[in-house]
Amino acid sequence: MPRVGCSRECSVKARVGAVANFAAQSLVWIGMMLVGWLSDHVRHSHGVLCFSALVTPFAVAGYLAKTPTLLKTPLEHVDQPC
């Protein structure tokens, strides 16, 4: 149920953001387990390369995201959706 003063669109955006964050954290944990499994069964370098390949897209997406530049903006210049 949306909070008072918050539109349905804002509520949906918050839920989608929470699901995306949960999925990203799940992928990081899966990557760590995969590194351990590969290190035990193959070679250590293969595990590290696999983990790097899994985490690199998230690192690039985080680097290119709008949020860090938005944090530098004074609050009176930020458009708030809710």
pLDDT by residue (tens digit) across 63-77?
Answer: 777 665 666 777 777
Q: Identify the weakest region by mean pLDDT among 12-21, 29-38, 73-82.
A: 73-82
d(CA 38, CA 47): 5
Number of domains in the chain: 1
d(CA 11, CA 1): 8
In a domain, 82, yes or no: no
Confidence at residue 81, expressed as pLDDT on a 0 to 100 scale: 65
State how far Cα 30 lies from the chain centre: 14
In a domain, 21, yes or no: yes
d(CA 82, CA 62): 24
In a domain, 41, yes or no: yes
In a domain, 14, yes or no: yes
In a domain, 64, yes or no: yes
What would the pLDDT profile of 24-38 be if each residue is shown by its tens digit?
Answer: 888 778 877 877 887
Confidence at residue 2, expressed as pLDDT on a 0 to 100 scale: 47
The residue segments making up the domain with residue 32 are 8-73
Residues 82/6, Cβ–Cβ less than 8 Å: yes
